[in-house]
Amino acid sequence: MAGEPQDDCLFCKIVEGHVPATIVRETDTTVAFRDINPQAPTHVLVIPKAHYADAAALAAADPALAADVLREAQAVADEDKLESYRIVFNTGAGAGQTVFHTHAHILGGRGMQWPPG
């Protein structure tokens, strides 16, 4: 069921404290942690604590929680003193999503190219 923890979800396990992560921020509704395979000097994932498969599902079911994720993305950028940064939501396997729990990638600390590839 949407919003409920999933036993087979890596990010749900991080939220529950069953899988370790380098957590940089936590609120009542979100967790932000360093990516284990960083693609930039700052590469942090911001996830909702509630399980939604992707950004589209989150936006449709809980717009306020989607806003919390974006607000925390800004807080991560502020804490890392990023003047510019990229926020990426991969939605679906064809877009590169590998963990099907909504997450925003916050990337910064180096130049970014366009298109991203």
In total, how many domains does the chain have? Answer: 1
Residue 117 is predicted with a pLDDT of 64
Residue 23 in any domain: the answer is yes
HEC string of 9-32 equals: CHHHHHHCCCCCCCEEEECCCEEE
Residue 117 in any domain: the answer is no
Query: Tens-of-pLDDT digits for all 117 residues of the chain?
Result: 678 889 999 999 999 999 999 999 999 999 999 999 999 999 999 999 999 999 999 999 999 999 999 999 999 999 999 999 999 999 999 999 999 999 999 999 999 999 886
Catalytically active residues are 103
Residue 104 in any domain: the answer is yes
| Count of CB atoms situated within 10 Å of the CB of 64 | 7
- Alpha helix (H) residue ranges in the chain: 10-15, 55-61, 63-79
pTM of the model: 0.95
Residue 114 in any domain: the answer is no
Residue 86 in any domain: the answer is yes
Residue 25 in any domain: the answer is yes
**Domain that includes residue 76, residue range:** 10-108
Residue 98 in any domain: the answer is yes
Residue 3 is predicted with a pLDDT of 84
Provide the CATH number for the domain around residue 37. Answer: 3.30.428.10
